[in-house]
Structure 1
């Protein structure tokens, strides 16, 4: 198995002209990027160090273009497009739903705060303290 290389290092290798050849290798679930550097090969890795898997050629091409590589070869012989995407994240739907609920609640609170600011009735600290004493005493 070839060594892995993170994106920042791949960018430095490309800028230095050390990358001789770049291959997009099709496999189960997508494409990996393999660089031929010197006499060895390196595979683009995630931040965690595992092989980075791109679901499509377009996504891989964008990353390669960002690091300064415009020419590459594609080997799709090992691609299995009918296999379910192992990177699918069903928890993201729940997280997105929660984000929308939070945004709706924030909008509600902001509306209430704005209504409070527009309310012409203002109470002094003394009036509020008297009202609280009355409520505690049961005269509310």
Structure 2
């Protein structure tokens, strides 16, 4: 097991040029970052001391880029696709469902409008008013 190093310390070590090599190691839950410093090896950890795991290489690359480290090696031999945690986004699921409902309603409205355009029977205002008077008087009777 390598010694732990937090992000702030890793930033200082990288700025000082002490980092000889960087390795992204695939393991259960994501990718851990290991630095070769001098004769030893140090693992990037969280504030609580557990190894900092990245769900993908892109996320790790962003952090390493922030440290000024542009070159690194990747060892994904210990990582299986099902080991990577999936981020659940219930808010996005609700938004996507709402989008589909809105699209279905829009389709319904477009169909109704098209049916109205195809209707060849046209009424004048007088015909409509006469029909309404007939309906009203029929209700009163």
Quickly name the TM-score band, shorter chain normalised: 0.5 to 0.7
> 2:51 corresponds to which residue?
51
Give the length in aligned residue pairs.
92
Aligned equivalents of 1:27, 1:56: Cα separation in 2: 11
Unaligned 5+ segments in structure 2 are 95-141
Aligned equivalents of 1:70, 1:61: Cα separation in 2: 8
The Cα RMSD (Å) is 2.0
> 2:16 corresponds to which residue?
16
> 1:82 corresponds to which residue?
82
1:3-42 matched pairs, under 5 angstroms:
3-42=3-42
Is the Cα contact below 8 Å between 1:19 and 1:35 reproduced in 2? yes
Is the Cα contact below 8 Å between 2:55 and 2:84 reproduced in 1? no
Secondary structure of residue in 2 paired with 1:82 = helix
**TM-score normalised by L of structure 2:** 0.60
Runs of at least 4 residues off by over 6 Å:
none
Unaligned 5+ segments in structure 1 are 98-140
